[in-house]
């Protein structure tokens, strides 16, 4: 139903083989449950290719790097076609709009504006220039 392949946004992306209607459940983001301290350590590891951590809250993180599913390749977009819901220690991915087979699935990473500004590569008309959500300031 989902596959990883080359993305025009950044390296690999998560693409759908099937259509999704708006507000459709797609799948859970999977990986190892780790502490926030371990997540910070892993995110700053220069030998690690990519960051696949998804923060549940201030203390718990799901790391999709080794045991994750294809959703670990969700790229950021300032005009995403997917969103997420955190509930009961799970990260549920849903479509925002209709998504056609072959389309790349994207979410808004919504990085904190008080952290290092990360440049955005989404290329959409709505691109704010950074992955960080500057409107939260």
- Please state, in angstroms and rounded to a whole number, the distance separating the CA atoms of residues 124 and 1: 25
Query: For residue 136, what pLDDT band results from cuts at 50, 70 and 90?
Result: low
- Please state, in angstroms and rounded to a whole number, the distance separating the CA atoms of residues 105 and 81: 6
Share of the chain above pLDDT 70, in %: 99
Alpha carbon of 48 to those of 53, 58, 63: distances in Å? Answer: 12, 22, 12
For residue 54, the SS3 value is strand
Complete domains list, the chain, with CATH: 2-30+69-136 (2.170.270.10)
- Please state, in angstroms and rounded to a whole number, the distance separating the CA atoms of residues 119 and 124: 13
Please determine, for residue 64, whether its predicted confidence score (pLDDT) is greater than 90: yes
Q: How far is Cα of residue 105 from the mean position of the Cα atoms in its chain? A: 9
- 67-124 pLDDT, tens digit per residue, is 899 999 999 999 999 999 999 999 999 999 999 999 999 999 988 888 888 899 999 9
Q: Among 56, 62, 64, 55, which Cα is nearest to 88's?
A: 56
């Amino acid at each position: 139903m989902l596959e990883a392949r080359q993305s025009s946004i950044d390296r690999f992306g998560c693409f759908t083989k099937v259509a999704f209607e708006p507000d459709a459940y797609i799948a859970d983001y999977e990986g190892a449950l780790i502490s926030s301290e371990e997540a910070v350590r892993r995110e700053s590891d220069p030998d690690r290719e990519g960051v696949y951590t998804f923060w549940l809250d201030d203390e718990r993180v799901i790391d999709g790097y080794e045991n994750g599913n294809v959703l670990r390749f969700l790229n950021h977009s300032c005009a995403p076609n997917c969103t997420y819901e955190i509930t009961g220690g799970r990260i549920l991915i849903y479509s925002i709009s209709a998504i056609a087979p072959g389309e790349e699935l994207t979410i808004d990473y919504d990085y904190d504006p008080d952290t290092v500004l990360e440049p955005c590569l989404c290329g959409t008309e709505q691109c704010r220039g950074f992955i960080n959500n500057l409107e939260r300031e």
